[in-house]
Structures are given as structure tokens and as C-alpha cells.
Amino acid sequence: MTEPVIVSDPPSAGPVKHEDLKLLQEVILRTPGDPGLEMCIQCGTCGGSCPSASAMDHTPRAIFAMLRAGMREDVMKSNTPWMCVSCYYCTVRCPQEIHITDVMYTLKNMSLESKVGGNSTASDFSKTFISLVENYGRSFEIGLAGFHNVKHFITRLPSMTPMAIGMLTKKGMSPFPPKRIKGMDQLKKILKRAKELEAV
């Protein structure tokens, strides 16, 4: 019998600090539409379906339980929403039709605003990505990987060389900044207006 593969570390045990019973309601109110998050039955369909679960410190289901328990700081610190790749498996399969992916975006926003989450490397990765898109109108993978790792994980760089070479050769990615898209000025206006509307 093959042992089942366990793919990430368990969350730390210990008493829950700072019970904040308004937290769940706050997340629900900040999510566009009605995410139905209060209906979670903790079945784990989301965590079982998630392709990024192995990189998350808590499964989405565990995050929802933590929201109920009012563990604001732990949720804001968690890398879970930042690992979400918006594949929507969880949302499609959720037996309670909870808009899980939407909730992940809310948690990213709340995390950025919070002291503990705003300075994390995970949120900074997202910020770097957005700044590149705002600059070029498209993504720039090698630049993103380079900037991020030089800024936060400089000691890791040697071990990442093979991956960098792979990106350049097999994947055919350019090491040079991409060409800006046509109509950058229009994109900037659109993004500016979007920021005004959503007040983020």
C-alpha cells in the first residue's frame, strides 16, 4: 500500500488569539455580489480541487474556518490568496455555490491594507507584476522573476539558474523588456478609471 502523499506542513496548533467575530461579515461585505461564504459546510471540495494547495500554508477551507474564528492576523499573513491562480475549480465544484475565487481577491485586498500582509513577499510579487503590466501593457516573466528574486531572495539566485536558462531556451522567452503595446495611454486611462471606481 502506497502511503498517501502529504504535500505541505500542518498549521501550528495553539489557542486562537484575537477573536474578531466581525471578520467573516467584513469579508462578505467587501466581496462584490453575494459570495455566500457564510454557507460553507467545511467539506474541503475547494482544498481538494486546488492545484496550488501544495504551495499554500492553509487550504481555502481552512482559511474560511479561520475567518469564522476571527483569526484576522493569521488570515492576513497567510499566503493562500496569493497562491490562487484563479482557475475557478473550487468555485465550479463548491456544493454550496460559494464564490471562492472572488473571496480570494477580497482577501488579497484586505491583506495589502493590513500591516502584517502588506509587507509580505507574496503581496510584493503581485505589486511587481502589476507595475510591469502598467508599464508595458503586457506581462514580462523574466523581468518579474528577476526583480522579485533580486529584491527578496538574493541568496536563492544561484540555485535558480537552471530554471532561468530553461525559460530563455526551451520556452523562448526574451531577456529584454517587451515592446509596449499600442495605445499605452489608453490603457493607463482605463486602469486609472478602474482604480477610481473600485477605490483600491
Partner 1 sequence: MSAEEKKPKERVGVYVCHCGTNIAGVVNVGEVSKWASDNLSDEGVVVARDYKFMCSSLGQELIQKDIKEQKLTRVVVAACSPHLHEKTFRNACKGADLNPYLCELVSIREQDSWVHTDKIAATEKAKAIISGGVARVIHHEPLEPLHVPIHPATLIVGGGIAGIQAALEIADAGFPVYLVEREPSIGGHMAQFDKTFPTLDCSACILTPKMVDVGNHKNITMLTYSEVQKVDGYVGNFAVTIKKRARYIKTEDCTGCGICWEKCPKKVIDDHFEAGLGYRKAVYTPFPQAVPKYPVIDDINCTYFVKGTCKACEKFCPTNAIDFNQKDEILTVEVGNIILATGWDLFDARRVPNYGYGRLANVFTNMEFERLSNSAGPTGGNIVLRDGKTTPKSVGIVHCVGSRDKNYNNYCSAICCMQSLKFAHLVHEKTGATVYNFYIDIRTPAKAYDEFYQRIIEEGTLFVRGKVAEITDAARNPGEEGKLIVQVEDTLVGKQRRIPVDMVILSAGLEPRYDSKALAKTFGISCSADGWFIERHPKLDPVATMTEGVYIAGCVQGPKDIPASVVQGAAAAARILGKIQQKEIALEPVRATINEEQCSGCRICNTLCPFNAILFHEDRMVSEVNPALCQGCGTCVAACPAGAIAGTGFSNEQILSQIDGLLLLNLNKKEAVPAVLPQV
List interacting residues with partner 1 (CB under 8 A). 1-8, 10-11, 41-50, 53-54, 58-59, 61-62, 89, 93, 95-97
Min dist CB 65 to partner 1, Å, is 9
Angle, alpha carbons 134-138-142 (nearest 5°)? 100
Min dist CB 173 to partner 1, Å, is 26
Min dist CB 12 to partner 1, Å, is 11
Closer Cβ to partner 1, 9 or 196, answer by number: 9
Closer Cβ to partner 1, 54 or 131, answer by number: 54
Cβ-contact 98, 35 below 8 angstroms: yes
**Whole-number Cα distances in Å, 163 to 41, 138, 149, 173, 188:** 41, 22, 13, 12, 32
d(CA 35, CA 46): 14
Cβ-contact 55, 9 below 8 angstroms: no
Closer Cβ to partner 1, 85 or 181, answer by number: 85
Min dist CB 63 to partner 1, Å, is 10
